[in-house]
Amino acid sequence: MTSNLLILYEAPALGLQLAIDGILIGAVFALAAYGMALVWGVTNIINVAQGEFVMLGGLISILGAEHGLPLWLTVPLAAAALYALGWLLFYTVIVHLLGRDMFNSVLATFGIAIVMQQVMAHVFGAADRIAASSLGSWFFLDNFVVISKMKVVVFAACIGLGLTLAWFLSRSRKGQAIRAVAQKPEAASILGIETRKVYCLTYSLNAAICGAAGALAATAYTIQPYGGLSYTVRSFMIVVVAGLGNLGGVIWAALGLGVAENFAGFILGTQYQIAFVFGLLVAVLVFRNWRLRRQRKHLE
C-alpha cells in the first residue's frame, strides 16, 4: 500500500491518469444518480434496482452491437427498452408502494433487482462483457497519460443527457408537471394533473436514463448481470451528498466519487475498490449524521 503511494509520488502523471479516468466514469455515475434522485424526490421511493437497470441497458447495447448496430442506435434502443420495462414495473409493482412505508419499497425494489440479475444472467450469460470499440486513444506526456477516445465520448454523452433531462424538467409541460407533483402532490392533483401518470412517467423515465447510461458505459467499461448493486450504492451515496434535485451537485459528487474510487483502487489494490465504495458510503452517512446531530437533528 505504501509502495503504491510512493509510486504516485514519484510519477505524478499516473495520478493525472487516475484522476482523468475517474472523472470520465463519474459521468455515468452522475446520470444514474440523477435518475435515482428524480424517482426519490417525486415518488419518495428509493429504487434499489437502479444498478440492474444500468446493467440491462449495457447488455442490450452489447447485444445490439454484436448484431452490427452502431452506438447512436444502440443507446436509444436500450433507453426505449428500459422505458418499457419501467412502465411495466410501475404498473405491476411500484404503484402499490406509493405512499407506503419506505422499507416496503426498498425491499420490493431489492426483489426486482434479484429477479433481474438471474434473468439477465440467463439471457445474456453471466460473464463480464464490454462492447467492442475501435476509436483508439490519445497519448500525452510521453505516453504516460492515455485517454480512451470512447471514454471521452461516453462522458460527453452522459453530461449531455443529464443537461437535456434538466432542461426537460424545467421547461417542458411534462417536466413541470413532474416538479409540481414532487412539491405538492395534493395541490397538483386538484389542478387536474394525474399524479399516478406523473409517477409512472418519472419511474419509466428514470429506467430509460439508466438504460442509456448503461448502453454508453458498455462501450468503455465492463458490464455484468450481477454487478448492478455497486451502481445503486454509488447513486445513493451521490444523492445523499448532493441532495435531491440538484444536477450541479450530483455531477460534482459523481465526478469526485469516480476520482476517489480510482485512487483508492490504485492505492489499496483493485480488489478493494468496491469495498472502498461501500465503506465510503458508510463514512459519508455517519459523517452527515454526526453533523446533523450537533443541530439536534438526524438523517431521516
Q: Which residues bind other proteins (CB under 8 A)?
A: 46, 93, 96-97, 100-108, 110-119, 122, 229, 233, 236, 240, 269, 271-272, 274-275, 278-279, 281-282, 285-286, 289-290, 293, 295-296, 298-300
Report in angstroms how near the CB of residue 171 gets to other proteins at its nearest: 27
Rg (CA), the chain: 20
The grid coordinates of residue 298 equal 438526524
Torsion of CA 224, 35, 40, 232, to 10 degrees: 20
Considering the complex, state which of residue 24 and residue 59 has its C-beta at the smaller distance from other proteins. Answer: 59
Residue placing its CB nearer to other proteins in the complex, 69 or 285 = 285
CB of 99 to other proteins, least distance (A): 13
Which residue stretches of the chain are H helix? 2-10, 12-43, 50-66, 71-92, 102-124, 149-171, 173-183, 185-190, 195-217, 228-242, 247-268, 273-294
State the nearest-atom distance from the C-beta of 30 to other proteins, in Å. Answer: 19
Nearer to other proteins, 112 or 209 (CB): 112
Give least dist CB 244 to other proteins, A.
13
Nearer to other proteins, 131 or 233 (CB): 233
- Strand, helix or coil for residue 223: strand
Looking at residue 1, its amino acid is M
Residue 65 or 113: the one with the smaller Cβ distance to other proteins is 113
CB nearer other proteins, residue 95 or residue 193:
95
Minimum CB separation of residue 128 from other proteins in Å reads 15
Nearer to other proteins, 41 or 64 (CB): 41
What's the rounded Cα separation, in Å, for the pair 123 and 111? 18
Quick one: three-class SS letters along 108-151? HHHHHHHHHHHHHHHHHCCCCECCCCCCCEEEECCCCEEEEHHH
Do 113 and 52 contact (CB within 8 A), yes or no?
yes
DSSP secondary structure letter of residue 100: S
User: In the bound complex, what is the minimum distance in angstroms from residue 286's beta carbon to other proteins?
Assistant: 5
User: CB 117 → other proteins: shortest distance, Å?
Assistant: 7
